[in-house]
Amino acid sequence: MRFGVLALQGDVREHAAAAAAAGAEPVLVRVAEDLDGLDALAIPGGESTTIGKLAERYGLVEPLRTAIESGLPTLGTCAGMIFLAAGTTEARPQVQLGVLDVVVRRNAFGSQVASFEADIDVVGIPDPVRAVFIRAPWIEKVGAGVEVLAEVEGHPVMVREGNIVATSFHPELTGDPRVHTLLLHMRGRA
């Protein structure tokens, strides 16, 4: 199975390694054609404003929207979640795909020094998941079709809407491929 990793900015290598650990072939996505024939897609963390700008520059915004809306199982982590979302709590607009019906609060858990790790319960994964939060957003508002899969301090940090899974944290940094595996199991079932 081919697991695409959007390779514009952020922790691309770690997602490629997690995809491989989940048993898939990692495929770096830099141009629209790279989306052809994928079974799943990961959008890494990094800086969401930069990812948005680069996606626009490389003509990837519409192709990504089309691929995701037509059912490609897609995982967005941290900045990747922000990029997938419908909006942020900030006044300043940024490029977002708007395919995930949530509003996110960027850097909600504090600044870089406030980064932290926690073992969290995730709906659909039997044992706790070690979650690394780095300048992490939380989800401020969820739309009607969005299922909350995990929370920290009462704030949603992992959600699913149809073929899209988004995390505030970085499942690609812990050597535990279960979140990526979840995506591969969603294939053809969106």
**Among 105, 106, 160, 180, which residue sits at the site for ligand GLN (rule: CB under 6 A)?**
106
Exactly one of 14, 161, 170, 180 is catalytic; name it: 170
Question: Would residue 172 show up in a list of annotated catalytic residues for this protein?
Answer: yes
**Among 22, 78, 131, 164, which residue sits at the site for ligand GLN (rule: CB under 6 A)?**
78
48 contributes a contact to ligand GLN by CB under 6 A: yes
3-state secondary structure at position 46? coil
89 contributes a contact to ligand GLN by CB under 6 A: no
Dihedral through CA 89, CA 50, CA 107, CA 103, nearest 10? 30
Question: Would residue 78 show up in a list of annotated catalytic residues for this protein?
Answer: yes
Residue pair 103/141 in contact by the 8 Å Cβ criterion? yes
27 secondary structure, DSSP code: E
Closest by CA position to 39, among listed 6, 3, 8, 65:
3
What is the nearest approach in angstroms of ligand GLN to the Cβ of residue 112?
Answer: 9
Question: Would residue 161 show up in a list of annotated catalytic residues for this protein?
Answer: no
Distance CA 168, CA 108 (A): 10
Distance CA 86, CA 100 (A): 6
8 contributes a contact to ligand GLN by CB under 6 A: no
Which residues lie near ligand GLN (CB under 6 A)?
Answer: 45-48, 78-79, 82, 106-107, 134-135
Catalytic machinery residues: 78, 170, 172
